Structure 1
Amino acid sequence: MRQITKELIQKYDIRLTKSLGQNFLVDDNIIDKIVNMADIDKNDIVIEVGPGIGNMTRRLAAKAGRLIAVEIDKHLIPPLEEVLKEFPNSSLINKDILKTSLEEVIREEKEKAPETEHVKIVANLPYYITTPIIMKFLEENPGIDTMVFMIQKEVAERIVASPGGKDYGALSVAVQYYSKPERLFDVSPHCFVPKPEVDSTVIRMKVFKEPAVKLINKDMFFTTVKASFGQRRKTLLNALSNSNKFAKSKEEIRQILIDLGIDENARGETLTINQFAQISNRFAQPTQN
């Protein structure tokens, strides 16, 4: 795969763009492992983000009912067209995934293959916009079942982190509100052309049909989470009262924490998603006169 990649780069005179985070995965074993972890069959619509020159795209298309490759770089469209010409079940979209309507794309693909039942996302994500892409999928979620991503190792550690650890933060809570993330395996920089400067990790996220907790106000929940982690060295009480995001005095916030059995001197990184939900639901309740 490494040699084929170099030949395609030379054939199409491709100039890799550092600003787009272009590092092509060329290790056949790793590609096979990623595809296998997505457990793809003909009942699936698969969206691949940033297919590059199609090293993984070909294998995804061979297994999926429908394959949609979304590539922002127009210079990579010709090699992708070459790769996908033998797969009539594939579509190639030259757009920025952050500006693309997932609902519209999936609806169009389901019209082409109404027998498909599931939607899966598989991608070697550009590391510089990993979080915005993941959160777009989770927040918009037009029926996504599973997502398998290769991302920067440090980001993967934050996504799967549990309460109490240094990696646990707002990103951990946000992802785990929408899904159950699982760390699968690490990938060496030597598996890419060109080699990235960081280690990579493959994660799988099983998307919940309903979020992990019931909320009165989702915006209030995420505001509470961000405020709790905004000043990590401060106690939970001080972090929440100093944020000025809640129409509550410090004493009112203290009483809410006492009522919920949450230590006011705890730090945000020790709270579970359920505890964040309890606090935010109390903040969202109308003030009693």
Structure 2
Amino acid sequence: MEPLTNRSVIKEIMERNGFTFSKALGQNFIVNPSVCPRIAEQGGASPERGVIEIGAGVGVLTAELARRAKKVVCIEIDSRLLPILDETLAEFDNIKIINEDVLKVNLPQLIQQEFSGMEVVVCANLPYYITSPILMALLEQRLPIRSITVMVQKEAAQRICAKPGSRQAGAITAAVHYYSTPQMLFPVSRGSFLPAPDVDSAVIRLDVNQKPPVEVRDEKLFFTVVRGAFGQRRKTILNTLSSALAMEKEKVRELLEKAGVRENARAEELTLEDFAALANCLWDFREQR
């Protein structure tokens, strides 16, 4: 078969199967031949490992993963792609396609059933509109996986990989750094896709932490504080937390002082340690009531 990164090949396969791109699913297929081999290599696909891929497209990345990994399980939501994948991935016997929404799949069960005795990594070219929900679903479940390597919108990649306490940081930054150690791998231009999106992309890898870098007494409360702090990022931490936690400003001021956080600081100025200290002080306060 001709290379799946050849635009004319992709278009011919699509036309033959009556397939059209879905804007609702954020479909942009990779046509730059150098991208997928790099994702597979830097994403950790190897002969002793299993790979979960999210979204197959026409199978460009899937094929590169299958050439390197022991087994690939691809979760693809669009049933229209199944006959295309049967054709484009016919040479491989180590690929399983699951026609499901990844947010509805029982991933712990899938890993146990499909990857017994294997280390597991995740690789994906994620639709821009659902990047954060998928990443958080993967991280929050504390799956037995080594890493998550994804291609996302460049701006999202920069925010995810930003250092907590820096100007680019957001709630997703704190959350990702709590569960993993993220790093930027390489940029991908918009011309690398069919159809070309309006923005550039980047590939990042999240190496999953064995334990969080900060200790918190209540994780749910920790993330409540993080989300509350970034809810109105132009306001000071005193005002945002007072509003988000429905607490009097004087009480919040006491918490901030106890946690060693300036009341006029803004959310992006706070480190992961600051958020942990705040959440722990809030936990102590509620326990004492």
Q: Give the TM-score range, shorter chain.
A: over 0.9
Whether 2:109 is the aligned partner of 1:108: answer: no
Moved over 4 A (4+): none
Number of corresponding residues: 283
1:53-132 matches, cutoff 5 A = 53-110=58-115, 114-116=116-118, 118-132=119-133
Which secondary structure does the structure 1 equivalent of 2:252 belong to?
Answer: helix
Quote how far apart the aligned CAs of 1:287 are. Answer: 4.0
Other-structure match for 2:37? 32
Please, what TM-score do these two structures have when normalized by structure 2?
0.93
Quote how far apart the aligned CAs of 1:132 are. Answer: 0.7
Aligned counterpart for 1:16 among listed residues 16, 21, 31: 21
1:1-289 matches, cutoff 5 A = 1-2=5-6, 3-110=8-115, 114-116=116-118, 118-243=119-244, 245=245, 248-285=247-284, 286-288=286-288
C-alpha separation between the residues in 2 aligned to 1:65 and 1:51?
A: 17
Moved more, 253-262 or 15-24: 253-262
Is the alpha carbon distance of 1:250 and 1:23 closer, same or farther for their aligned partners in structure 2, counting shifts above 3 Å? Answer: same
Equivalent residue letter for 2:217: I
Please, what TM-score do these two structures have when normalized by structure 1?
0.93
Equivalent residue letter for 1:183: M
Asked whether the equivalents of residues 148 and 206 of structure 2 are also in contact (C-alpha less than 8 Å), the reply is yes
Which secondary structure does the structure 2 equivalent of 1:206 belong to?
Answer: strand
Is the alpha carbon distance of 1:115 and 1:103 closer, same or farther for their aligned partners in structure 2, counting shifts above 3 Å? Answer: closer
Equivalent residue letter for 1:32: P
C-alpha separation between the residues in 2 aligned to 1:261 and 1:72?
A: 47
* 1:109-129 CA distance string (max 9 Å, x none): 02xxx342x111111101111
Asked whether the equivalents of residues 258 and 281 of structure 2 are also in contact (C-alpha less than 8 Å), the reply is no
* 1:32-55 CA distance string (max 9 Å, x none): 111111121122110111111101
Quote how far apart the aligned CAs of 1:179 are. Answer: 0.6
C-alpha separation between the residues in 2 aligned to 1:264 and 1:128?
A: 34
Q: Report the identity percentage.
A: 42
Asked whether the equivalents of residues 156 and 183 of structure 1 are also in contact (C-alpha less than 8 Å), the reply is yes
C-alpha separation between the residues in 1 aligned to 2:250 and 2:235?
A: 16
